[in-house]
Structure 1
Amino acid sequence: MQTPHPDLPLAAAPTPRPPARSHFRCFHRLRVRWAEVDMQKIVFNAHYLMYIDTAMSEYWRALALPYEASMLTLGGEMYVKKATVEYHASARLDDALDVGLRCVRVGRSSCVFEAGVFSGDQLLVSGELVYVFADPATQTSRPVPPALRVIFEGFEAGADMVEVRTGDWNTLGRDAGRLRTAVFVREQGIPAEVEADALDASARHAVAYNRLGMPVATGRLLQEAPGVGRIGRMAVDRSVRGSQWGRQLLDALVAAAQARGDKEVQLHAQRAAEGFYRRAGFAVVGEPWEEAGISHIAMARRL
């Protein structure tokens, strides 16, 4: 893309100091693959830009921003204007690398990101990406939206990127239902008449909203028996899955169960998510079974 950017001249600047691992809040871990190395099993230079670009996707997840939907809401797109890398040491086959990324400056229409590729604490490669916010139809620059500017600045300052709200179906049902339909019906193929039930009307619902007000995760809490809660319908937007948003939502539902005096919470977990619930303190109860073509397991946690 070729557009004028008066706020960010590309003239030569003093060489910045190499970043340290402690400078980054967001990391993406990867392992060097055979296809990425030369005959000496050293990573080809160009692959480091691919590593950094992959970490950029992780950065958007850390912001709780589904990229495509967020850009549509913000009325623009992010285009790379300039990418530079500096090589300090080599990565080799099977190395575990941590790629750090942070936003260091937001101009009128551009954003500057710093990257660091680390093996342990050793910096192997540093880089800089200059992105321009632009109209996707004309590819001409636009001012960075104030909401996006605040999100970048807030994240780098350590602020929370989501807010979990709890309430009844009348309050949260529209957003919860939209997420559940996307995950359970469209993604997993569960019939809509199975996903929706009459229990929504009496359940306590939780929805996690990002800083653009978009719902990114949901779940509900039922009263299974006196003193026993049951958590269900846990769903996280696919594009931000793998960050901590599902755990924050689960913790909010557990807290809601504790607040009403429950002594135990139960749930029916999809087997693919069993590890997630184990890490949150849930233990398996009984044997697995199949529901709607998906293997499930009962789990419980004492409060």
Structure 2
Amino acid sequence: MQRSDFRCFHRLRVRWSEVDIQKIVFNAHYLTYADCAMTEYWRALAFPYEAGMQALGGEVYLKKASIEYHASARLDDLLDVGMRCARVGTTSLVFQAAMFAGERLLVTVELVYVFADPATQTKRAVPPALRAMIEHFEAGGEMVELHVGSWATLGRDATALRMAVFVQEQGIDPALELDAHDAAAVHAVAYNRLGQPVATARLLYEAPGDARIARIGRMAVHRVLRGQRWGRLVLDAMVQAARERGDAQVTLHAQRSAAPFYRRAGFEAVGQPFDEAGIPHITMRRSLRGG
């Protein structure tokens, strides 16, 4: 196997607790590495595993794991664990993992899963939607579809995601989350290939009657799918919508922990940090002049 055989990778560093008396990775840890990469694979599919499997009416159970060792990993090695689906059968799915240190292949793993009823653990046919999702990913397809529109068309799904992130996860008062601005805002919602919302944002004017300064808000990404470009996708869509309507500048109130994300998108911090809904924030802005 070669690195080019894989679209999905999970990077990890070998820790002290994972090496044995020979100062190489204890063999059993390679299965843990493969399992971590398996989790990353579902994330790369924009597939929130628990909610996704509930929607499909089943669960995948590991039936067989095979490992072949080619070379040893050592303390502090940076490993790239590639994961791919090699075959989708009637009731089974075969995944292959390969662990690389640079270009050097260290370990290969084959994992055979069975799709089954979670109550009885009896086999079921792999759902067509899951088969299509995996095949689309392995063919290099985009895993989300972006919709930009009004609250009337996107409000239900945006609300569900915002409530999950801001209210349930972050503990914000529900009364603060939904407001009168939603009806007039431009909204973006990214959907996975099961039609589940995975990221959202809205675009307002910074002040009533001010048609040149836009404000992006309510940026939310499903908790288990962060770090997969979906947040950047909806942010870029809001910036583009502001540019298309002629706005000169766009601002936002970033949670301070998310400020590096916005800096990478061309925003800069202005002013002093402040609390909003009990969470530290910083105002950030981006000029839209000159493209």
Please indicate the TM-score interval, normalised by the length of the shorter structure. Answer: over 0.9
Please list every run of at least 4 consecutive aligned residues from structure 1 whose deviation after the TM superposition is greater than 3 angstroms.
Answer: none
1:128 aligns with one of 98, 110, 114:
110
Partner of 1:271: 256
Partner of 1:286: 271
Counterparts of 2:2 and 2:121, CA distance in 1? 35
What do you get for the CA RMSD once the two structures are aligned?
Answer: 0.9
Partner of 1:8: none
Q: Which runs of 5+ in 1 are unaligned?
A: 1-18
Task: Give the secondary structure class of the aligned counterpart of 1:262.
Answer: coil
What TM-score does the superposition give when structure 1 sets the normalisation length? Answer: 0.92
1:226 aligns with 2:216: no
Counterparts of 1:88 and 1:263, CA distance in 2? 57
Counterparts of 1:77 and 1:88, CA distance in 2? 32
Amino acid at match of 1:273: A
Amino acid at match of 1:41: K
- Matches for 1:71-86 after TM superposition, within 5 Å: 71-86=53-68
Task: Give the secondary structure class of the aligned counterpart of 2:203.
Answer: strand
What TM-score does the superposition give when structure 2 sets the normalisation length? Answer: 0.96
1:236 aligns with 2:218: no
1:47 aligns with 2:29: yes
1:60 aligns with 2:42: yes
Task: Give the secondary structure class of the aligned counterpart of 1:183.
Answer: helix
**1:43-93: CA deviations, max 9, x gaps?**
000000000001111111100011011111111101111111111111111
Task: Give the secondary structure class of the aligned counterpart of 1:144.
Answer: coil
- Matches for 1:17-56 after TM superposition, within 5 Å: 19-56=1-38
Counterparts of 2:266 and 2:139, CA distance in 1? 30
Amino acid at match of 1:199: H
Counterparts of 1:195 and 1:67, CA distance in 2? 26
Counterparts of 2:74 and 2:54, CA distance in 1? 39
* Structure 1 residue 240 displacement after superposition: 1.1
1:173 aligns with 2:155: yes
Task: Give the secondary structure class of the aligned counterpart of 1:40.
Answer: coil
* Structure 1 residue 243 displacement after superposition: 1.3
Partner of 2:234: 249
Task: Give the secondary structure class of the aligned counterpart of 2:47.
Answer: coil
